[in-house]
């Protein structure tokens, strides 16, 4: 058994280089259990980890709500302003959120790594609240309808920056917190507090719409859409106080690189994984986002009763059918592995996309059957890339650059969503509505290939292992710089000393 002096020297070495080198004292990369002792600091850290996971769920449900808010709003605006709300205006208002998300994902991803997870989370919450407030109060000068839609475009853009920032901020925090408390169950827990709540945002948005519509009546549609926008203000506020009080994860405090980040070395090490996560996310969002935003429009065009309430009810059923895929993906991600589960989900696009696309004229005459197959296609997306992309993007990269790489991957995905949304109407008008589903099947095949060749599989691995390998890689390539958060180093020393004293006591 090592003496106290030897343990102290190992602790000092690990603090100077916050990864575990393979020495006689430390044979494997340091797991988080090695540094967590029942002291006041780490009791608070443990509590903070659970709150961080819960706050990610409540924060991302507001993202899911905002992503699906325009589904019924598009139908309402078309009803209120049939001449002014053209397809170009609809696309502009819908894409404003996407453009904002791309900006938020890139810049907040950088803030996550360079400033800290807490600062990023607080900033995204404020941006969503400000954007949602502006959207709820939107008006055109002197009652101008076009002014209203330009106001909404700007408000949705601001909201989008906050919503986009939530992806890297919440997801990296949740993955690191889950790694601290439950390494083996990190995947399912991560999925339930990220993609499940994001997917639940769709049925939630439609449910709020139906409640507002029943309360205000179809003759007060302006009140209905403003109430729906206003609910989006309250959702992010539910987690604001928790985010002000949260602590950074142990992984981030040990391995953060806030200055002189070696981005070229990062690209050399992770180019293949980045190609996989960015490419697969682009394909997934290219299919799923326009099919989500315009699903209300698609359903209203095929149902016999074209009322707004009937459209919303079918839309709610569609969202409900899509949800089980989230749970199936969470159940499969450990036994089947991340990569194989994602391939299975992309394959569902191929199967159901072809079924709907090739039989579109016949299947749309049987509305329940059409909605069921439409829902199954979206459910397969949730099962595979919907569940796995956030997970593999959080697991494939080392802690010092996790937020940056995750944000970049998600931003490329939202670029795919913007392209898909922009192309959706021209595809319908020039090729026919069935081609939106046939193209989804083509994207499914491409997604399978991209996933198989480029997406890494980190099933069951401690995130600290990749941190250790990354730090050794930097050393081998001659990088020198500061690692870790200086304010917490003293506290971590106390934890190592406590551990060393406990080990020394056992040996006597």
Which tens digits make up the pLDDT trace of 68-117? 888 788 888 888 888 888 878 888 888 898 889 999 999 999 998 988 88
Of the candidate CATH numbers 3.40.50.300, 3.30.465.10, 1.10.10.10, 1.20.1250.20, the domain formed by 44-250+261-469 belongs to 1.20.1250.20
pLDDT at res. 50: 76
- Token representation of residue 166: 């939530």
Q: CB count, 10 Å around CB of 508?
A: 5
Q: 115, exposed or middle or buried, with CB in 10 Å at 0-12, 13-18, 19+?
A: middle
pLDDT at res. 300: 65
pLDDT at res. 22: 37
- Which of 102, 70, 103, 104 shows the shortest CA–CA distance to 89? 70
pLDDT at res. 418: 82
Measured CA to CA, the distance from residue 36 to residue 258 in angstroms comes to 24
User: Does the pLDDT at position 346 exceed 90?
Assistant: yes
Task: Specify the higher pLDDT residue, 34 or 468.
Answer: 468
DSSP 8-state secondary structure symbol assigned to residue 20: -
H-only helix segments in 182-262: 186-193, 195-216, 221-237, 240-245, 250-255
When the pLDDT of each residue in the chain is averaged and rounded to a whole number, the result is 81
Q: CB count, 10 Å around CB of 409?
A: 30
**E strand or H helix that includes residue 11:** helix 4-16
Task: Specify the higher pLDDT residue, 437 or 296.
Answer: 437
- Token representation of residue 449: 């290939």
Which tens digits make up the pLDDT trace of 118-132? 888 889 999 999 999
Indicate the domain borders of the chain.
44-250+261-469
DSSP 8-state secondary structure symbol assigned to residue 72: H
Which tens digits make up the pLDDT trace of 223-273? 988 999 999 898 888 777 778 777 778 888 888 898 888 999 999 999 999
Q: Could you tell me how many residues make up the chain?
A: 508
For 127-155, give one letter per residue: b (16+ CB within 10 A) or e.
Answer: bbbbbbbbbbebeeeeeeeeebbbbbbeb
- Our CA dihedral for 67, 69, 72, 78, rounded to 10 degrees, sits at -100
Q: CB count, 10 Å around CB of 83?
A: 6
Which tens digits make up the pLDDT trace of 481-508? 888 875 544 333 343 344 344 445 444 4
Q: Does the reported pTM lie above 0.85?
A: no
- Token representation of residue 100: 């904002």
- Token representation of residue 276: 């996989």
Measured CA to CA, the distance from residue 275 to residue 247 in angstroms comes to 32
Is residue 345 very low, low, confident or very high in pLDDT (cuts 50, 70, 90)?
very high
């Amino acid at each position: 058994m090592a003496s106290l002096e030897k343990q102290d020297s190992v602790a000092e070495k690990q603090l100077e280089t916050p990864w575990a080198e393979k020495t006689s004292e430390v044979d494997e990369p340091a797991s988080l259990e090695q540094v967590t002792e029942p002291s006041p600091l780490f009791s608070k850290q443990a509590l903070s980890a659970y709150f961080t996971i819960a706050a990610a769920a409540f924060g991302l449900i507001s993202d899911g709500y905002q992503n699906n808010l325009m589904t019924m709003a598009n139908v309402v605006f078309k009803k209120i302003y049939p001449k002014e709300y053209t397809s170009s205006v609809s696309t502009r208002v819908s894409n404003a959120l996407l453009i904002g998300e791309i900006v938020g994902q890139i810049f907040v991803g950088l803030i996550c790594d360079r400033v800290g997870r807490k600062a990023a989370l607080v900033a995204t919450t404020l941006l969503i609240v400000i954007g949602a407030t502006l959207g709820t109060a939107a008006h055109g000068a002197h009652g101008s309808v076009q002014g209203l839609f330009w106001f909404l475009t700007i408000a949705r853009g601001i909201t989008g920056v906050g919503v986009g920032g939530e992806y890297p901020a919440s997801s990296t925090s949740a993955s690191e917190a889950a790694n601290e408390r439950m390494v083996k169950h990190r995947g399912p827990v991560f999925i339930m507090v990220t993609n499940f709540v994001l997917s639940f945002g769709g049925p939630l948005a439609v449910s709020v719409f139906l409640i507002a519509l029943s309360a205000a009546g179809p003759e007060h549609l302006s009140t209905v859409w403003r109430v729906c926008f206003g609910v989006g203000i309250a959702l992010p506020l539910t987690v604001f106080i928790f985010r002000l009080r949260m602590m950074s994860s142990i992984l981030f405090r040990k391995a953060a690189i806030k200055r002189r980040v070696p981005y070229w070395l990062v690209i050399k090490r992770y180019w293949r994984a980045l190609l996989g996560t960015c490419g697969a996310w682009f394909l997934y969002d290219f299919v799923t986002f326009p099919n989500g935003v315009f699903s209300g429009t698609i359903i209203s065009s095929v149902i016999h009763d074209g009322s707004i309430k009937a459209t919303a009810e079918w839309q709610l059923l569609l969202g409900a059918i899509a949800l089980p895929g989230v749970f199936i993906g969470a159940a499969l991600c450990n036994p089947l592995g991340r990569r194989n589960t994602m391939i299975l989900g992309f394959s569902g696009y191929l199967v159901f996309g072809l079924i709907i696309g090739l039989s579109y004229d016949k299947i749309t005459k049987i509305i329940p059957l059409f909605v069921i197959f439409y829902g199954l296609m979206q459910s397969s997306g949730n099962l595979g890339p919907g569940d796995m992309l956030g997970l593999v993007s959080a697991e494939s990269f080392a802690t010092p650059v996790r937020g940056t790489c995750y944000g970049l991957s998600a931003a490329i995905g939202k670029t795919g969503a913007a392209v898909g949304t922009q192309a959706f109407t021209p595809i319908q008008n020039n090729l026919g509505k069935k081609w939106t589903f046939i193209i989804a099947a083509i994207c499914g095949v491409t997604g399978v290939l991209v996933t198989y060749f480029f997406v890494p599989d980190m099933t069951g691995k401690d995130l600290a292992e990749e941190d250790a390998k990354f730090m050794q890689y930097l050393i081998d390539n001659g990088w020198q710089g500061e690692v870790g958060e200086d304010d917490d180093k003293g506290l971590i020393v106390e934890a190592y000393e406590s551990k060393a004293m406990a080990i020394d006591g056992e040996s006597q």
